[in-house]
Amino acid sequence: MSAMKEVEEADKKWLCMLFGIPYEAKYQGTGTGSAIHVYNEEGEEVLTYTGGVGWQEKETKAESQVHSALKMTYYEAFSEARKALNSEEKTGSVGENIILQDNFDMKA
């Protein structure tokens, strides 16, 4: 086995020890252009290290789906609140720069 191949195998062993299995890490390049890529059990890249930037997390497909659901839920709640506020403005229950809150609950 060549010296470079031994170094690559040792690098892979250390990366797997650092990140644990089922994660897989790959070392790419040489010198200042080198990088480490860490993949989860589905093969998605979740973490990258480069000398110039450092560690960068990458969002998985599952995380993207959760974030999309959270954004949609927030947007729907915001839209409903905005509609309620606009309907109060049209009926005249909003004073000058003051919003009247007739249904304010101190216990909540």
15: in domain? yes
pLDDT (tens digit per residue) in 44-85: 998 888 888 888 999 989 999 999 999 999 999 999 999 988
- CA separation, residue 76 to residues 23, 25, 64, 65, 88 (Å): 37, 40, 18, 16, 19
Give the global pTM. Answer: 0.51
Same domain for 75 and 53, yes or no, is no
CB-based contact 61:69 (threshold 8 Å): no
Q: What is the pLDDT of residues 19-50, one digit of tens each?
A: 666 777 787 877 667 888 888 888 899 888 88
66 in the same domain as 51 = no
Answer yes or no: is 47 within a domain. Answer: yes
**Domain around 8:** 3-58
Report yes or no on 80 lying in a domain: yes
User: Does residue 71 share a domain with residue 31?
Assistant: no
Q: Give a yes or no: residue 100 inside a domain.
A: no
Structural domain count of the chain: 2
Tally of helices (H runs) and strands (E runs) in the chain: 2, 6
Please check whether residue 105 lies inside any domain of the structure: no
